[in-house]
Amino acid sequence: MSRAEDTMQIANVSRRGLLKGLAGASALLLAARWDPALAGEQAQFGAGAMPGGWVDDPNVFIQIASDGVVTIVNNRSEMGQGIRTSLVMVGADELGADWEQVRVHQADGDQDKYGNQNTDGSRSMRHWYDPMRRAAAAARLMLEQAAAKEWDVPVHEVETRVHKIVHKSSGKELGFGALAEAASQLEVPGRNALVLKADSELRFIGKESGLVNGELDSAPPKAIDGRDIVTGQAVFGADIDLDDTLYAVIARPPVYGAKVKSFDDSEALKVRGVEKVMPIEGAQQPAGFNPLGGVAVVASNTWAAMEGRKALKIDWDNGPADDNATYTTDTYRKSLEKAAESPGKVVRENGGDVDAALESADKRVSATYYMPHMAQAPMEPPVATVRIRDGKAEAWAPVQNPRATRDGIADRLGMDRSEVTVHVTLLGGGFGRKSKPDFVTEAAIVAEAFEGRPVKLQWSREDDIHHSYFHAVTVDRMDAGLDADGKATAWRHRTLSPSIGSLFAPDPKHLQEFEQGMGLNTMPFDIPAIRLENPPAPAHVRIGWFRAVYNLPHAWAIQSFAHELAEAAGKDHRDYVLDLLGPDRKIGNLTVGDGWNYGEDPDKYPIDIARMRRVIERATDEAGWGRETDKGRGLGLAFHHSFVSYAAIVFDVEVDDEGQLTIHRADIAFDCGPQANPERLRSQLEGACVMGIGIAMQNEVTFEDGVAQQGNFDTYLIPRMPDAPKVLRVHLIDNPGDAMGGAGEPGLPPVAPALCNAIHAATGKRIRRLPVGDQLSG
Amino acid sequence: MISLTINGQKHDMYVPEDMPLLWVLRDVIGMKGTKFGCGISQCGACTVHMDGEAIRSCATPVSEATGEIETIEAMADDGVGRNVQQAWLDLGVAQCGYCQTGQIMTATALLKKTPKPETQEIVDAMAGNLCRCGTYNRILAAIEKAADMEVSQ
């Protein structure tokens, strides 16, 4: 049996079925009652405000077999952030389990059962840490109660040691496995009966392990899929292997919104292995998560399908595409730059008279910054397998949003959601691309034509880059006035970029609240006159989430401009921005016109200037800020608050006479409040640094007449090993007292501006247009 | 008929001569450890060994795969490959993990030829393998660690 079938079988049996299937060898925790979260507990902020909310029922998340094996359910998608390890680690620690006896089971897409599963927004740990600890604490208490009953002693006399319960005075002990059956007969205790472990009792949570800034710590890192990954046994979406599978690819319209006018499949059908060619009806604009349409080629293997597609002759009708067929990014950039000359919709004002302050300033500084379209380009291109049988759909897919995947298939095929099963595989990278399940719906459409047969729908790299949900192109026009001391007295920021809102509704042409909340309105500088404006910018391609989303351009423009102000003032960059941040204070998001705050409670998650200051000081101190550098070498700083966490980075770079960049070192300081798994936090920040170097130096998708001009890694460049910093250090701020923040995204926004600021320090060259590309040569 | 030797085992099959080795491995034989990333030898996710050389299976027609092919599935039985895998685990290299089998194949081929590489030799050898998660610093450290490990057969 292949691994995929193995996975499928486990996913298909009920808990009781698993008990029976193992012939009574296992006893699972099957509790009588666990109240769903009360309405009052499912609140307006945080996990409780998400669709499906949170769930902390131990029956849902924790199973203990009579042989002692503990299986913990992971309800979030694993795309490299390490959540399968980290969330399971949290549960195992609270439970008191021996890590060697812990297994993970990946939840199918079912938000009614598992709570919210939409894996984006850097939310997995910050929303699921508490529910997972409660679920595990409840299971532990039940094991303790079962042991106390067995020994006929009061429960307070027993305690949990690693994978066993002991009676202190008599020295009796029973393992988790031996107690599982008896524990399963008990009622689940109420939440108010739970006592979570004290920090001093924790063995895994918050503990460093693995490689810490070049030093190998004694404890190895926990990586629940590590062995499978390095031996090639891990099952990604592409690796689902079901009997009788057909393989499909789709030729999609090159222009967003275009349709198939006619096609000739006579040559395609001659390709050996091709079984069928079929048109796929595309969605109307705005497309949302619906497929783009086109012509599908179905074959006996992936390569035959790709060869068949090459042989298709298709006439496209750009008629329904509005003016998307004339979209050329170079022209578009110029039109945004022109629009940036005029006032736009005001999205934040602090009462100061910006125009007067700009007029009366001793010095005026202006700059316009550009960030291009980018494709997420996860190493595993979109891929999905779907089988339709007896009116039901079953999908195996690497998706960040299993609920949207279910709904996409159900809506398109006219099924009830309950008839659609989504098995979530490992994701070979996500970065926002796999939040959009258009590719799974495509597989379902093709599979419907082959009742009972699995269809694997594979995207090529060209498909992936041509038909991304692109990161928005952005022009940011900045104007500031400085007083005689160089202190900023006026700050005017006009930002123009197409909105993700254009994907779901008639193009709003303005940033939505959550888009403004990503580092635009939440700009923390203490300046007497601030006005933020958002002139209109239409969308001509699918615009979508890319890791850190609108924080990328906002941080890039604001952090570059702050450096320009320091330079104009003749001040040290660090000193200047620390002064510009003003006194330590906690800024409520509503006071800066942001009603979103990443969905979090403003009281728990204010913008905390002291925390911002601390990451800046830590990164600059670690980097040796202020030290003398040789000619052609320099240090650059940037910082940013996003996903309710704080990040600062300093680059030490060198640019030679030919314009060749060498990154000697990066020092990243990061404060996300409490740390569940510092080892994976480090890996996220290291990865964000490298990805951010790509955003600064290389990433760009351009369009000519509506058609993407890059298609593969020979033209859409991403960082390679020689592009990485020679030394990459992460400094985690010890801050258990604040509420937990995100980790997957907040490391990314400050990277590009810090690198460009460092390039300026090294060369005097100011980068205002990304990517840097060949701007350093000549 | 095409005959391939993969991980010491002979496979006979009827497939088009120009079908890339990658798709033969994945779709015909069903060995999924070798990954598709680009199809044009740009990313290295599909790296396998032929007669000890790291090659890109996505751009190798099956008719040209006449040597001894080794894939990630055989690396646990290879002294150097096993060390590389262990170093990857010790240093927590992988994030999503999708590119890592190709990275390990390239690293193993390097260490078989050059057991104690200089840092620059590692960087040069690995430049053809992309990792979108950005794990390069740990890959480099892991290769240096693997080079320090004793090779047992």
Q: How large a percentage of chain A has pLDDT more than 70?
A: 94
Q: Is the pLDDT of residue A32 over 60?
A: no
pLDDT tens sequence across B14-28 = 999 999 999 999 999
- Minimal CA–CA distance to A721: which of B99, B4, B63, B51? B99
Q: What is the least distance, in Å, from the CA of B12 to any CA of chain A?
A: 17
Predicted pLDDT at A41: 59
Among B30, B97, B123, select the one facing A234 at the smallest CB separation.
Answer: B97
Burial A561-587 (b: 16+ CB within 10 A, else e): bbbbbbbbbebebbebbbbbbeeeeeb
Tens digits of per-residue pLDDT, A436-449?
999 999 999 999 99
Q: Is pLDDT above 60 for A378?
A: yes
**Least Cα separation, residue B6 to chain A (angstroms):** 15
Alpha-carbon distances of A763 from A113, A372, A752, rounded to whole Å: 57, 23, 16
Average the pLDDT over each of A43-52, A167-176, B102-111, B128-137 and give the range with the smallest value. A43-52
B27–A247 CB contact, under 8 Å: yes
Terminal-residue alpha carbon distance, chain A: 60
pLDDT confidence bin for A38, thresholds 50/70/90:
low
Residues of B in contact with A718 (CB under 8 A): 130, 132
Mean pLDDT value of segment A639-656: 98
pLDDT of residue A283: 84
**In the predicted structure, residue A772 carries a pLDDT above the cut 90:** yes
State the Cα–Cα distance between residues A350 and A364, nearest whole angstrom. 20
Check A238 against B129: CB less than 8 A apart.
no
Residue A25 burial (C-beta neighbours within 10 Å; 0-12, 13-18, 19+):
exposed
Which residue among B19, B27, B96 sits closest to A80, beta carbon to beta carbon?
B96
pLDDT at A636 over 50: yes
A26 touches A79 (CB < 8 A): no
Q: Write the pLDDT tens digit of every residue in A274-308.
A: 999 999 999 888 999 999 999 999 999 999 999 99
From first CA to last CA, the distance across chain B in angstroms is 34
Cross-strand partners of A385: A396, A456
pLDDT (tens digit, 9 = 90+) per residue, B37-95? 999 999 999 999 999 999 999 999 999 999 999 999 999 999 999 999 999 999 999 99
Least CB-CB distance to A728: which of B33, B43, B137? B137
pLDDT tens by residue, A172-186: 999 999 999 999 999
Which one-letter DSSP state was computed for residue A539? -
Q: pLDDT of A544-587, one tens digit each?
A: 999 999 999 999 999 999 999 999 999 999 999 999 999 999 99
Query: How, if at all, do strands A294-299 and A274-280 pair?
Result: antiparallel
For A398-411, how does the pLDDT look when each residue is reduced to its tens digit (9 = 90+)? Answer: 999 999 999 999 99
Give B102's contacts in chain A (Cβ within 8 Å). none
Using 50, 70 and 90 to split pLDDT, how confident is the model at A34?
low
A305/A312 Cα distance (integer angstroms): 11
User: Residue A40: pLDDT band by 50, 70, 90 thresholds?
Assistant: low
Pick from A303, A719, A725: which is nearest to B23 by CB?
A: A303
Q: Rounded distance, CA A129 to CA A750, Å?
A: 26
Pick from A18-27, A287-296, A506-515, A642-651: least confident: A18-27
Predicted local distance difference test score (pLDDT) of residue A728: 98
Please give the pLDDT value at position A10: 29
pLDDT at A218: 74
The reply to whether residue A687 touches residue B134, judged by beta carbons under 8 angstroms, is: yes
What does pTM read for this prediction? 0.95
Q: Is A269 exposed, middle or buried (0-12, 13-18, 19+ CB in 10 A)?
A: middle
Structure confidence by residue, pLDDT tens digits, A584-607: 999 999 999 999 999 999 999 999
Write out chain A residues lying below 8 Å of B23, CB-based. Answer: 301-303
Which pLDDT tens digit goes with each residue over A119-164? 999 999 999 999 999 999 999 999 999 999 999 999 999 999 999 9
- pLDDT mean over A69-87: 98
